[in-house]
Amino acid sequence: MAQLKSQVVGHQKLFHQWTQLLQREQLTGSFLFVGASGIGKRKAAWAMIQQALCTQKKGEEACGECGSCRRVAAHQHESVWFVEPEGSQIKVEQAHGILHFLQLKSMGSKRFVLVDEAHLMNTPTANSLLKTLEEPSEGTTLILLAPSLTSILPTIRSRLRVFHFQPVPLDEIRQARTVPEWALEASLGRFDLLDSLSTPEVRQFRTQWAEFFVQFLSSPQTLTEDKWRESLKNKEDLKQALDLWLKMVRDALFLQQGEQKSLLTLDVNPQLKKMAEWPSVLLQKIGQDLITLQKELSFNKDAVLSMETLYIQLQSSGEWTA
Ligand SMILES: [Zn+2]
């Protein structure tokens, strides 16, 4: 079964809008699919293209079985040109590839160009596509994907019809996928986050740093252990750890108020429970200090030093009982 739409979670309103345009034969033109990364824009775009190219539609839906549907599902359809960044940008040669594809005479009456991460088009690339985006030839649909409206050059933006993609409501994800509730809440409706939270590596990372945090708050000696001093040197890891700690503080405060729902760190439950036993004034102080620490790290301060300062500040706050 290769019906792509059935694999997309959410975005039903946009599919409805697309179907209406398709019925009225109003797909010639340039579109911008905009919304946070990881919420399914690209999947939806492929599904919409499949629907438009299906030769044996069931009602308004793609059949998923005809040759056309299969080729779209395999990303091998002769009427679809897909572009994604090579390295950190979409280069002008790739724009030339698009223009060449659109000039080919041998194609069917409908053709699609799909540009992923269109905000990474450099200026020459964008400029060489301006005219095509403004006025695509009959039967041509260009779809640009981008994380935000402002990430697209205004000259391009003004030429596009915009489809706004929203994070998928958690209820819809809950129905479509079997995932732990904490991961669902922490994903914020983004599938990339959801998937990353489900890997053993990420779970191990979170457990390890949650344990360090609780230990560290109980004893500054933790900072003198080589293992942790080494780990703290990795700024990227520490940034993610800080994010986790802030969420733990938030959850610990929620737990103190008897709030069990919408916790984001239930995977590190043992450590979270320990934190929830601390006075809420102290937790609030820790939260504030963590935010300060986040800022300091973005100014490239030494992480171990910052953590030591954090500990001293907490000690002197007078709320310390842990
Ligand atoms: Zn089909």
CATH superfamily of the 4-166 domain: P-loop containing nucleotide triphosphate hydrolases (3.40.50.300)
Residues, the chain: 322
Report whether pLDDT(281) > 80.
Answer: yes
* Residue 5 pLDDT class (50, 70, 90 cuts): very high
Q: For residues 257 and 33, what is the distance between their CA atoms, to the nearest angstrom?
A: 41
Nearest to 77 by CA among 94, 101, 93: 101
Q: 2: CA distance to ligand 1 center in Å?
A: 9
Q: Where are the domains of the chain?
A: 4-166, 199-316
**From the CA of 116, how far away is ligand 1's center (Å)?**
24
Residue 76 alpha carbon to ligand 1 centre in Å: 14
Q: How far apart are CA 271 and CA 224, in angstroms?
A: 21
262 vs 141, residue with greater confidence: 141
Backbone dihedral region of 64: left (phi > 0), alpha (psi from -120 to 50 degrees) or beta?
Answer: left
Average pLDDT over residues 80-88: 94
For 243-267, write each residue's pLDDT tens digit: 899 999 999 999 999 887 778 888 8
Buried b or exposed e, range 143-170, using 16+ CB within 10 angstroms: bbbbbeeeebeeebbebbeebebebbee
Average pLDDT over residues 14-25: 96
Return the ∠ at Cα 15 (arms to 162 and 122), rounded to 5°. 35
Residue 5 Cα to ligand 1 midpoint, Å, equals 12
User: How many angstroms separate the alpha carbon of residue 47 from the centre of ligand 1?
Assistant: 11
pLDDT over 80 (residue 182): no
Q: How far is the CA of 59 from the centre of ligand 1 (A)?
A: 11
199-316: in CATH 1.20.272: yes
Nearest to 11, CA basis, from 142, 210, 199, 189: 189
Distance 66 CA to ligand 1 centre (A): 4
Average pLDDT, the chain: 89
Average pLDDT for 202-223: 86
Report whether 28 contacts 138 (CB < 8 A). Answer: yes
Q: Could you read off the pLDDT of 26-78 as tens digits, one per residue?
A: 999 999 999 998 899 999 999 999 999 999 999 999 999 999 999 999 999 99
- Cα-to-centroid distance, 54 and ligand 1 (Å): 4
Q: Report how far ligand 1's centroid is from the alpha carbon of 50 (Å).
A: 7
pLDDT at 221 over 80: no
Residues 267-294 have a mean pLDDT of: 90
pLDDT at 320: 58
pLDDT tens per residue across span 108-139: 689 999 999 999 999 999 999 999 999 999 99
Give the Å distances, CA to CA, from 157 to 17, 79, 128, 165: 20, 25, 15, 16
Q: Give rounded-to-5 percent helix, strand, coil for the chain.
A: 60, 10, 30
Where do we find the tokens 């907490």?
Answer: 314
Looking at residue 93, its pLDDT comes to 95
- 6 pLDDT band, cuts 50/70/90, is very high
Give yes or no for residue 106 having a pLDDT over 80: no
Q: Using one digit for the tens of pLDDT, what is the confidence trace for 285-321?
A: 899 889 888 888 777 677 777 777 777 777 776 555 5
Measured in Å, residue 143 CA sits from the centre of ligand 1 at: 21
The predicted model gives 166-177 an average pLDDT of 87
Tell me the two tokens of residue 225.
Answer: 């252990």
- Phi and psi at 38, nearest 5°, equal 80, 10
Closest CA to 125 of 160, 162, 154, 98: 98
